Amino acid sequence: MIGDTLLLQVAAVTDIAPGLRHLRLVAADGGKLPPAAAGAHVQFVLEGAARTWRNAYSLVSRPGARDAWEIIVRRVPASRGGSAFIHEQLEVGDRLLAGWPGNLFAPVRIARHHLMIAGGIGITPFLSYLAEFGFTGAGHALHVCCRESEKDVFAPWLGSSPAVAFHWDADGHRLDIPALLASQPAGTHLYVCGPAAMNDEVMAAAAVAGWPASHVHCEHFGSALFGGEAFRAFLVRSGIELEVAEDESLLDAIERAGVAAPCLCRGGACGVCVTPLLEGEAEHRDHFLSADERAAGRLIMPCVSRARAGRLVLDL
Amino acid sequence: MLHSDIKSRPTYRALEPDLAAAGHLLVIEAATLQPGGLAGLADAFAPVVANLHTWLVGEALAAPGLGKPWHLPAVADVVDALACATRGYGIGDRLYVQGTEPFLWSVATAAAIVGFGPGQLQLCHAGSLQRRVWCTHCHGVTEQVTTNVVPCAGCGRHLLVRDHFSRRLGAFMGVMVDAEAPGEIPAIEEVFA
């Protein structure tokens, strides 16, 4: 984690829909929190009985708010367990550690128009975007692809804005991504946050429609990144042999062993945790290393990537 | 003089259509064309000719193979045409510009105002090395500068023409050459012909 940690206290817990929990968190000492800009996320330390999770969630509170941070967490059945902990264990008054806000998905200030596409719970970073655009007056449109039953869940954040459209999987309601991307004016920036398959589809459609890469922004999320076969790793500088379980990341195992590894997003995006790989073959699951770097096989991002086979030896 | 140790000095390359783009606008300063230059551009842009618009600025040359060219008298008309375009430009469009540096950057800054990002823009230098110079003292602009030292059109100071370049102004910086020793003007040479 970068910087000091903050001690937070759960001020309110609200189930806004089945499987969707809204948390309001304040500084445990009653003071002010660091401000965060639109698109920011915070990494939370979730202390379960048997294990500790470190999960990053987008802030949905108003950008710049210092009295409280708000997050919305979807319970993911087949996940590492952090979201289940939030849904089942966390109560009002509980205290938890958090990092300072990070932001890998800030809106581009010079954009002439902001086009946002959200898939499911990927709407969360855009809730803070909307608060900012409402303040600055920047032109924008948000397209949300979700279950029909969940289209009203976010109404408290969206109001009745004509700039927000909902799409779901039924005839006449699906989002025509190629048509949407083909009709955008020069100076538009595109942001997409959703499941990996949707992100990939939008990014590919943008390339086909001639969008310059500089104007396309993607934030990945999702439990699909985590877990896999158990494997062993050896940390050369620390002299520690690790057993990485099926349901934890290499970074989780490193932290469990008491080794402080730098990290920020825990989702394979920021590159802060990149570590020299001395032996072994990695299964790269990040969005940071270039194709050449992957092929060279000398670097790994332990927050998401795992061993393809055998044991990994890290310079850590 | 197209290369410098000064990092802000822009570099240029030959125009090459971006095959992924939706529409292509090619703006050429006609006076800078070499013999066969238009034919070379027609070859390069042949794969995208169906979605190509060409604006020829200055002389009304025939431009076979470059779509139906539109002739504009001067770069000021290009700036007006971009600013007043009834058809908005799309994020999938690309703009290609060829000419002298003052021409390139006049078009580039006008395009940026209507939303073209750096990734949608290609600039190719052709013709004279003449520079637009911005006086760091009076903020006046001196056009068509071909010498290392030039009297400022705004304040009359003798300006040393530097390689420092402002993309916002589309101009090179000019600083008073005899500020330390008034009246000591170095030999004036034509270096940007």
Mean pLDDT for the stretch of residues A92-114: 94
Inspect the interface and report whether the beta carbons of B22 and A209 lie closer than 8 Å: yes
Q: How many angstroms away from the CA of B10 is the closest CA of chain A?
A: 19
Per-residue pLDDT band for A3 (boundaries 50, 70, 90) equals: low
Give every CB contact of residue B153 below 8 A, 6+ residues apart in sequence: B140, B141, B142, B143
A303 falls within a domain = yes
Q: Does A185 touch chain B (CB under 8 A)?
A: yes
Q: Are residues B37 and B61 in the same domain?
A: yes
Domain boundary among A220, A244, A272: A220
Tokens 């949300």 belong to which residue? A144
B14 falls within a domain = no
Q: Are residues A119 and A216 in the same domain?
A: yes
B38 falls within a domain = yes
CA–CA distances in Å: residue B73 to residues B26, B56, B80:
16, 8, 12
CATH number for A275: 3.10.20.30
Query: Residues of B with CB below 8 A from A210's CB?
Result: 18, 20-22, 90-94
B31 falls within a domain = yes
Least confident of A188-192, A278-282, B104-108: A278-282
Q: Are residues B115 and B140 in the same domain?
A: no
Q: What is the pLDDT of residue A310?
A: 82
Domain boundary among A74, A98, A122: A98
B16 falls within a domain = no
Q: Does B92 touch chain A (CB under 8 A)?
A: yes
pLDDT in tens, A137-157: 999 999 999 999 888 999 888
Name the residue range of residue B163's domain. Answer: 131-176
A108 falls within a domain = no
Q: What is the pLDDT of residue B1?
A: 66
Q: Are residues B56 and B149 in the same domain?
A: no
B94 falls within a domain = yes
Q: Are residues B121 and B137 in the same domain?
A: no
Q: What is the pLDDT of residue A2?
A: 44
Q: Does A183 touch chain B (CB under 8 A)?
A: yes
Residue of chain A nearest B22, judged by CA positions = A210
A304 falls within a domain = yes
Q: Does B93 touch chain A (CB under 8 A)?
A: yes
Residues 110-149 of B with CB under 8 A from A: 114-120
Beta strands, E only, chain A: 6-17, 20-27, 41-47, 52-58, 69-74, 95-98, 113-119, 140-145, 164-167, 188-194, 216-220, 231-235, 240-244, 275-283, 299-300, 306-314
| Contact between residue A173 and residue A167 where contact means Cβ atoms under 8 Å apart | yes
Q: Are residues A80 and A132 in the same domain?
A: no
Q: Based on the structure, what is the number of domains in chain B?
A: 2
Q: How many angstroms away from the CA of A143 is the closest CA of chain B?
A: 18
B7 falls within a domain = no
Domain boundary among A220, A239, A269: A220
Give the 3-state DSSP-derived string for A75-91, with helices as H, strands as E and coil as C: CCCCCCCHHHHHHHCCC
Structure-token pair, residue B160: 């040393």
Q: Does B20 touch chain A (CB under 8 A)?
A: yes
Rounded CA-CA distance A242/A248 in Å is 12
Tokens 């100071």 belong to which residue? B157
Q: Are residues B30 and B72 in the same domain?
A: yes
Q: Based on the structure, what is the number of domains in chain A?
A: 3
Read off the DSSP letter of residue A185. B
pLDDT at B85 over 80: no
Q: Does B21 touch chain A (CB under 8 A)?
A: yes
Inspect the interface and report whether the beta carbons of B21 and A210 lie closer than 8 Å: yes
pTM given for the model: 0.83
Rounded CA-CA distance B23/B46 in Å is 13
Rounded CA-CA distance A70/B94 in Å is 41
Percent of chain B beyond pLDDT 90?
88
Q: Are residues B39 and B112 in the same domain?
A: yes
Name the residue range of residue A243's domain. Answer: 226-314
Q: What is the pLDDT of residue A78?
A: 67
